């Protein structure tokens, strides 16, 4: 009797758009993952939006964006969670563009002052180490070049979670998130 070959079923991984979208569509799971990443408690969030497209019809020649997961909390802070599976050596540029699009569309209404802008957290979940330092979490703010103790208060925090990071005192939940990002692609 001829033996049938074993079929390996692909597991699409946590960073696959549909998988990440399904996980993060659940308010409780989304809030929990945000709290793991940010290391602070969030009072409550509105329902997350997945694959939220931002187009600018007046400027069709400009690149549009699609936020993988866009969340607003009850204090009106914004969170954009993006899955990055390919290191194109452009994360900084990509983060700048996504932050600009988030600001353009969501953070300031006409007639309001700049102090009314919403705080924004740009979170990139990567299955590679963009900085090559082996850390699990890289956090970026805007600092003054000559005096790093002076931070420009712009309300924007950029975070990269490195799926290839090596645990070094992080919480068990942060290590668990990295393990989830690194789960095998097939079973």
Q: How far apart, in whole angstroms, are the C-alpha atoms of residue 38 and residue 51?
A: 22
66-91: per-residue pLDDT in tens? Answer: 999 999 999 999 999 999 999 999 99
Residue 158 has pLDDT above 70, yes or no: yes
pLDDT in tens, 27-59: 999 999 999 999 999 999 999 999 999 888 887
Q: Is the pLDDT of residue 106 over 80?
A: yes
Reply yes or no on whether the pLDDT at 94 is more than 60.
yes
Q: Which residue has the higher pLDDT, 58 or 9?
A: 58
Distances (CA, A) of 45 to 30, 78, 89, 184: 9, 10, 32, 31
d(CA 132, CA 121): 22
The structure's pTM equals 0.89
20 vs 12, residue with greater confidence: 20
Burial class (CB in 10 A: 0-12, 13-18, 19+), 108: middle
Average pLDDT, the chain: 91
Helix (H), strand (E) at residue 131:
none
77 backbone dihedrals φ, ψ, rounded to 5°: -80, 145
* In contact, 41 and 35? CB cutoff 8 Å: yes
């Amino acid at each position: 009797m001829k033996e049938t070959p074993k079929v390996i079923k692909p597991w699409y991984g946590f960073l696959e758009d549909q998988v990440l979208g399904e996980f993060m569509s659940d308010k409780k799971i989304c809030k929990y993952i945000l709290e793991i990443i940010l290391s602070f408690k969030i009072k409550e969030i509105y329902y997350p939006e997945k694959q939220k497209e931002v187009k600018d019809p007046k400027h069709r020649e400009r690149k549009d964006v699609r936020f993988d997961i866009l969340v607003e909390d009850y204090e009106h802070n914004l969170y954009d969670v993006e899955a990055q599976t390919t290191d194109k050596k452009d994360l900084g540029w990509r983060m700048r563009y996504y932050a600009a699009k988030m600001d353009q569309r969501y953070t300031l209404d006409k007639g309001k002052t700049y102090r009314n802008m919403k705080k924004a957290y740009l979170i990139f979940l990567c299955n590679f180490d963009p900085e090559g330092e082996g850390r699990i979490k890289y956090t970026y703010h805007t600092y003054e070049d000559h005096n790093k103790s002076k931070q420009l208060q712009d309300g924007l925090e950029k975070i990269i979670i490195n799926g290839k990071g090596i645990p070094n005192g992080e919480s068990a939940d942060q290590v668990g998130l990295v393990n989830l990002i690194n789960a095998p692609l097939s079973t």
